Structure 1
Amino acid sequence: MIGFRDLMELRIVKAFRNHDVPLQVIRAAIEGAKAMFGIEYPFTAHRFLTDGKSIFSEALQEHGDAEITDLAKRQLVFEHVFRPALYAGIEFAGDGQATRWFPVQRSKAIVLDPQIAFGKPVLTDYGVRTEIVAEGFKAEKNKKTVASLFDIPVAAVESALRYERMAA
């Protein structure tokens, strides 16, 4: 099973890969950040938002090709990968580690929190897993019935269904 911090790291690795950053550069950035921060999951740390650009730049200089290591491009990649999309919706603890993620832009209806349902997506205000709501709707074919079964509003059922469609 993939844990919460693994999921957070994978999101960032995927974003790097979507911008054609070589895996060896990503690995070097992870190792550099681990050494600098002294933590196992450096991409999940709030500090990576500020110190990550220099770590990423060093990794690119060591392992990247000439096109990617161009100063303007590497800054552009970092800015586009990390700001604002990847860290939007993530809450950080006092130690700077990611603790919760609200995956739907501009909405806190759905949350992934390792302290709730083992980090599976739940309706924030109700603690009901979105997957279970979607399964209920698949069986019942009626939003009002599902809302009644879980003692949640129809709007929460709709949020869960939207999230499950998006995540599929």
Structure 2
Amino acid sequence: MVSYQPHAMGAAVRNDNFIGMGLYTPTEAGRLLHVPSKKITRWLRGHSVKGKRYERLWRPQIVMEDDAIFLGFRDLMEMRAADAFMKAGVSAYMIRRAIEEARKYVDDERPLSTTKFRTDGRSIFLEIADENNDTKLLDLFRRQYAFKRILDASLKGVEFDGIAPSRWWPLSRQKGILIDPQRSFGQPIEAESGVPTATLAAAAHTEGINNASKLWRVSRQAMRRAVEYEDLLQAA
């Protein structure tokens, strides 16, 4: 069974069929984000190392009673931003602190992936780095261009509804692959046809692109886009 958090911007709203939320296992999320699924589980469940407990970065949108981890679309976008900061050398501890501080003025449970954090997040990192005497982090975020580069990369291809992410073009709009929590439970779709890329690619591998395009009544170009995207995911 599934339980849901109280309603807040960016938090889960009770919805028994997950429509509009997106639904991803850590493996699926890792495949889309190119982040190891074990890391995703660790960041969202918390973990212990040598007797020391490291709490999760935030509470997932979807909470299973058997403690299984699932992500919603907003979790996916927040994870993408968190991973970008970690790759730049920011510790999970500092990211957790940044999330906690950002929630005080960004009305969203997942602030890293919002437009408000894009404009104000640098000052948050500077403040918590100064409190912890973290010279490396202070040096990184004193340089405005460094913060902008990290965050812009993490939000590339994202469309927003107000301050919150609403859709994601994982390659680019021109490549025609879309991730939209309102469609196909947030699985990647070929934008022209609206069919999941995994479905089209499987049909193309079985029937060939020409026959599959006729069976699914989509263009050969759409089939090729789906195949190329799925091949990229498999290769990552």
What TM-score does the superposition give when structure 1 sets the normalisation length? 0.88
- The separation in 1 between residues aligned to 2:131 and 2:230, in whole angstroms, is 40
Q: Which runs of 5+ in 2 are unaligned?
A: 1-69
How far is the alpha carbon of 1:74 from its aligned partner? 5.3
What TM-score does the superposition give when structure 2 sets the normalisation length? 0.64
How far is the alpha carbon of 1:61 from its aligned partner? 2.5
User: Partner of 1:24 in structure 2?
Assistant: 93
Please give the secondary structure, in 1, of the residue aligned with 2:90.
Answer: coil
Name the structure with the higher strand share: 2
* Aligned counterpart for 1:126 among listed residues 170, 193, 203: 193
State how many pairs are aligned: 165
Name the structure with the higher helix share: 1
What are the Cα deviations for residues 25-78 of structure 1, in whole angstroms up to 9, with x where unaligned? 111111111121121111232221111221222233234632222266653431
Give yes or no for the alignment of 1:138 onto 2:205.
Answer: yes
How far is the alpha carbon of 1:120 from its aligned partner? 0.7
Q: Report sequence identity in percent.
A: 36
What does residue range 1-168 of structure 1 map to in structure 2 within 5 Å? 1-63=70-132, 65-70=134-139, 75-83=144-152, 85-93=153-161, 95-105=162-172, 107=174, 109-140=176-207, 142-168=208-234
Please give the secondary structure, in 2, of the residue aligned with 1:70.
Answer: helix
The 1:109/1:67 distance shift into structure 2, 3 A limit, reads same
The 1:27/1:8 distance shift into structure 2, 3 A limit, reads same
The 1:73/1:47 distance shift into structure 2, 3 A limit, reads closer
Give the residue type in structure 1 aligned to 2:105: M
Q: Is the 1:137–1:146 Cα contact (8 Å) retained in structure 2?
A: yes
Q: Comparing both chains, which one has the higher relative contact order based on Cα–Cα distances under 8 Å and sequence gaps of 6 or more?
A: 2
The 1:25/1:160 distance shift into structure 2, 3 A limit, reads same
User: Partner of 2:18 in structure 1?
Assistant: none
- The separation in 2 between residues aligned to 1:64 and 1:74, in whole angstroms, is 17
The 1:139/1:65 distance shift into structure 2, 3 A limit, reads same
- The separation in 2 between residues aligned to 1:21 and 1:123, in whole angstroms, is 35
For the aligned residue pairs, the C-alpha RMSD in angstroms reads 1.9
How far is the alpha carbon of 1:154 from its aligned partner? 0.9
The 1:71/1:21 distance shift into structure 2, 3 A limit, reads closer
Q: Is the 1:91–1:99 Cα contact (8 Å) retained in structure 2?
A: yes
- The separation in 1 between residues aligned to 2:128 and 2:228, in whole angstroms, is 38
- The separation in 2 between residues aligned to 1:47 and 1:55, in whole angstroms, is 12
Give the residue type in structure 2 aligned to 1:156: A
